[in-house]
Amino acid sequence: MRNNDELSRIVRNVTCVLAVPVTVFGLYIILHGHLTPGGGFAGGAVMATFIALFLVSFRKEIIKKDMWTKLFPVSEILALLAFISLALLGISAAFFHNFLANSGLLFGMPVPFGVNPGYLGTGGIAPLMNLAVGLEVFSGLSLILFIMTYSKPDGDKND
């Protein structure tokens, strides 16, 4: 698909201005997944919509080829491996055992029962798994967008 043109100056400037708020909003949804609605999947999808806006409003030659052949696949693979290794760390009791909840370590504050304003230090391994899944969804959806923009499909008319 031809993407050699770029949109007008207003659209390009607003895209550059919108880079920080959209990313911060997506990271907020990912990080507070154990207190408010959201979590890893919704936050990763919000961060991937910024990549879609970026691909539409700029020229195709601005992005180097190394970014979508080396950077994004590596980050996706590392995020999936981190998710699996977090599940394997509590193998002494069960496969997905929450070994950080109600202990004294990183995310291990006990939660008082009932309605309370959310405390960020609770949750066990759920915030760490939210981060891993959020990074994986963001890398995967951005990779799909990059491939569909930069490659010609494999059809050659041989019939």
Report how far apart, in Å, the C-alpha atoms of 18 and of each of 53, 101, 108, 156 are. 10, 37, 35, 40
Report how far apart, in Å, the C-alpha atoms of 6 and of each of 59, 140, 148 are. 5, 25, 17
Would you call 91 exposed, middle or buried from its count of C-beta atoms within 10 A (0-12, 13-18, 19+)? exposed
- Is 143 one of the binding residues for another protein (CB under 8 A)? yes
- Is 28 one of the binding residues for another protein (CB under 8 A)? no
- Is 39 one of the binding residues for another protein (CB under 8 A)? yes
CB nearer to another protein: pick between 10 and 154: 154
Contacts of 13 (CB under 8 A, 6+ apart): none
Count of residues that interact with another protein, criterion CB under 8 A: 53
CA–CA separation, 76 and 84 (whole Å): 13
47, 125, 131, 134: residue in contact with another protein (rule CB under 8 A): 125
- Is 111 one of the binding residues for another protein (CB under 8 A)? yes
37, 61, 66, 92: residue in contact with another protein (rule CB under 8 A): 37
Q: How many CB atoms lie within 10 A of CB 25?
A: 14
Name the residues that contact another protein, by CB under 8 A.
33-37, 39, 41, 76, 80, 83-84, 87, 95-96, 98, 101-102, 107-111, 113-118, 122-126, 129-130, 133, 136-137, 140-141, 143-144, 147-148, 150-157, 159
